[in-house]
């Protein structure tokens, strides 16, 4: 009999809702840390579907928080999901998810700005830069105070083919504040064209995939777009 890892048919068992997890573990968003959660699993499923086919993929989720996107990634048939979360309050809820998905979810209590993902996944996943992208994906809904410095760091990593790009042309699916997303995707001549647009588009194929309405987040932030 083949394992679910090979077939990519894993589904999480019934679990408390994200709202219940937030109540259970007292995970109220901390305003100073710009925490805004996605509670609607249909939306997190949609975000994860847009990241492409994750069957047997190795996924690095940055800032899982109460775990909405995390659940959708686990249900997408991944080989392994590694999450890095800075706020220790979220670790017990993530541990519950890990227990529900034996051998699939690795939890790191740490900082995405310093975590060394290049050592975390098997060497065998590495591809030449010119080859098809590796089966390694980055997904995240980070606070905006972190997503901007992080994307600048990752663009530097792309140019040096290290960090997450030691595996090859690793794909990323990230949420950004509306203004940052507009700058990342701004074409020549547009008002939002900036150094960030030029750097990002020179080094990556940048696409605006979907707009998340502010009311999808709890609490509701300023304008957001992935």
Ligand X SMILES: C[S@@+](CC[C@H](N)C(=O)[O-])C[C@H]1O[C@@H](n2cnc3c(N)ncnc32)[C@H](O)[C@@H]1O
The one among 22, 68, 172, 183 contacting ligand X by CB under 6 A: 68
Residues 15-54 interacting with ligand X (rule: CB under 6 A) = 33, 35-38
111 annotated as a binding-site residue: yes
Q: Which two tokens stand for residue 154?
A: 């990752």
User: With respect to ligand X, which residue has the nearer C-beta, 113 or 198?
Assistant: 113
Site for ligand X contains 117 (CB under 6 A): no
| Cβ at position 37, least distance to ligand X in Å | 4
| 113 binds ligand X per the rule CB under 6 A | yes
Q: Residues in contact with ligand X, total (CB under 6 A)?
A: 23
- Is position 65 an interface residue for ligand X (rule: CB under 6 A)? yes
Nearest to ligand X of 15, 194 (CB atom): 15
**Was 63 annotated as part of a binding site?**
yes
**How many Cα atoms occupy the beta-carbon half-sphere of 107 within 13 Å?**
23
Tell the smallest beta-carbon distance from residue 180 to ligand X (Å): 14
**Site for ligand X contains 90 (CB under 6 A):** yes
78 near ligand X (CB under 6 A):
no
If DSSP states are collapsed to H, E and C, what string results for the chain?
Answer: CCCHHHHCCCCCCCCCCHHHHHHHCCCCCCHHHCCCEECCHHHHHHHHHHCCCCCCCEEEEECCCCCHHHHHHHCCCCCEEEEEECCHHHHHHHHHHHHHCCCCEEEEECCCCCCCHHHCCCHHHCCCCCCCCCCEEEEECCCHHHHHHHHHHHHHHHHHCCHHHHHCCCEEEECEEHHHHHHHHCCCCCCCCCHHHHHHHHHCCCCCCCCCCHHHEECCCCCEEC
Which CB, 69 or 196, lies closer to ligand X? 69
Q: Which residues bind ligand X (CB under 6 A)?
A: 33, 35-38, 63-66, 68-69, 84-87, 90, 111-113, 141-143, 146
Which positions make up the binding site for S-adenosyl-L-methionine?
36, 38, 63, 85, 111, 141
């Amino acid at each position: 009999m083949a394992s679910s890892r090979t077939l990519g048919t894993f589904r999480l068992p019934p679990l408390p809702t994200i709202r219940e997890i937030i109540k259970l573990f007292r995970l109220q968003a901390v305003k100073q840390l710009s925490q805004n959660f996605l509670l609607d699993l249909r939306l997190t499923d949609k975000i994860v579907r847009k990241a492409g086919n994750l069957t047997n993929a190795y996924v690095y989720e940055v800032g899982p928080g109460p775990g909405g996107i995390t659940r959708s990634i686990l249900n997408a048939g991944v080989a392994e999901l590694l999450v890095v979360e800075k706020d220790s309050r979220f670790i017990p809820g993530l541990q519950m998810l890990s227990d529900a998905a034996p051998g699939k979810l690795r939890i790191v209590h740490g900082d995405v700005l310093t975590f060394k993902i290049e050592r975390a996944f098997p060497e065998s996943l590495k591809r030449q830069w010119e080859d098809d992208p590796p089966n390694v994906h980055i997904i995240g809904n980070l606070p905006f105070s972190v997503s901007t410095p992080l994307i600048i760091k990752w663009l530097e990593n792309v140019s040096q083919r290290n960090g997450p790009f030691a595996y090859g042309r690793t794909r990323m699916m990230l949420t950004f504040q509306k203004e940052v997303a507009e700058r990342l995707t701004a074409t020549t001549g547009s008002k939002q064209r900036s150094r960030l647009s030029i750097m990002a588009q020179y080094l990556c194929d940048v696409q605006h995939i979907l707009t998340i309405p502010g009311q999808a987040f709890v609490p509701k932030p300023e304008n957001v777009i992935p």
